[in-house]
Amino acid sequence: MSFRGFSRPNASSGMGVADHSKNAFMELQRKKVHRYVIFKVDEKKREILVDKTGGPAENYDDFTAALPENDCRYAVYDYDFVTSDNFFILVFIESPSTARIRSKMLYATSKDRFRRELEGIHYEIQATDPTEMDLEVIKERAN
């Protein structure tokens, strides 16, 4: 039996992905409505939801300031530089080392499914501290 538009979690794939989360990503990717989208795992709903979004005029400093210091999040940032292949870079950023173990486990077990749901992620960065998210590090990796 299949339910359209409904993502059910299961033991092997982690949390489900809310339709609103997929739509926010598509708005970032195609319509450039957002500069970034930050997602969080809602353990009670067993879904990945939108936590925050940043407007098109926001920059990388605004994005990093919006991330929590001591908890995990998934985040996609639309970098406004173009590679030699002429495409925008979308980066998947994960968890700080100071996050709770349970939170890290929830995010780790849901990451692959979440990434599959968001088509178009070109680079993934698993950041555990701010130096791993430095803009220069990301630009280097993109080239």
Query: How do residues 41-98 score in pLDDT, each as one tens digit?
Result: 999 999 999 999 999 999 989 998 998 888 899 998 887 665 555 455 556 666 677 8
- Half-sphere exposure for 125 (CA within 13 Å, toward CB): 24
Q: Which of 123, 41, 116 is nearest to 77 (CA)?
A: 123
**Number of independent structural domains in the chain:** 1
Within a domain: 137: yes
Within a domain: 10: no
Rounded Cα distance between 28 and 36, Å, is 7
**What's 39's domain CATH number?**
3.40.20.10
Containing domain of residue 76, as a range?
Answer: 16-142
Length of the chain: 143
pTM recorded for the entire structure? 0.82
Q: How far apart are the first and last CA of the chain?
A: 45
Tokens (6 digits) for 56? 């098109």
Within a domain: 4: no
Within a domain: 8: no
Tokens (6 digits) for 90? 């979308």
